[in-house]
Amino acid sequence: MHKANVAWNNSFRHIFRSCWRESVKPLQYFYQLLPMSYLIDQRRILFWQKMMLSDNIVLFTLSRLIMNQFMAVGNRYGITSFSIAPHAIRLKIWDSFASSLTDSLEAVHI
């Protein structure tokens, strides 16, 4: 995940011709794109949710076996229940990213 995040960030730096030391989070926020680590977590949660709601007994059983792993990922973003709509999951993950960006920008100004 770290290597994918570095490649994603370096792509932004290359496109916008910024220094390697500069954070690309404000650019990602402006273009409404999540950092790679958030994208991976979002896709994992949505995939697991589809497995959990599947009519296929094998997928349903497998989703129940690995539920604790996905609950841990969801808790990072304030997702305590996976019975919510996928767009609500995406929104919670986006809000978490926006909040982390706001917190880091406030820390710079203090």
The whole domain housing 24 covers 2-109
- Indicate the burial class of 8 (C-beta count within 10 angstroms; 0-12, 13-18, 19 or more): middle
* pLDDT given at position 107: 60
- 3-state secondary structure string across 13-68: HHHCCCCCCCCCHHHHHHCCCCCHHHHHHHHHHHHHHHHHCCCCHHHHHHHHHCHH
Q: State how many domains the chain has.
A: 1
Residue pLDDT tens, the chain, 110 long: 899 999 999 999 999 998 888 889 999 999 999 999 999 999 999 999 999 888 999 998 998 898 888 899 999 999 988 889 999 999 999 999 999 988 766 665 55
How much is the pTM? Answer: 0.83
Alpha-carbon dihedral sign for residues 1, 96, 98, 109: negative
